Amino acid sequence: MHSCGAVQGLCDTATNIYSVAVQEHEHKGVTGAVGGVLRQIPSAVIEPVIIATEATSNVLGGMRNQLLPDRKLEDDQKWKQTESD
């Protein structure tokens, strides 16, 4: 398997779509397979967008922490206080 999350996500999506197509084909024939694949498309499109958004957020947060280390310390203290309350 690949260690990259994006590649793993694409592999998982392709595997899920294939599994649904095979299962639906066994139960309902070609029409079922096509319908099963079409039902999987929305999640197949949205999931990579969510992953990319999370990755972008992590990169931007890391850049901010590098550029403003005092702000990171303030944030860490704030979260420690709210967790202990």
> pLDDT by residue for the chain (85 residues), tens digit each?
344 566 777 788 788 888 888 888 888 888 878 888 888 777 777 877 888 899 999 999 999 999 998 888 888 888 887 666 5
Neighbouring C-beta atoms of residue 24, cutoff 10 Å: 20
Q: Give the predicted TM-score (pTM) of the model.
A: 0.46
CA pair distance 51, 6, nearest whole angstrom: 7
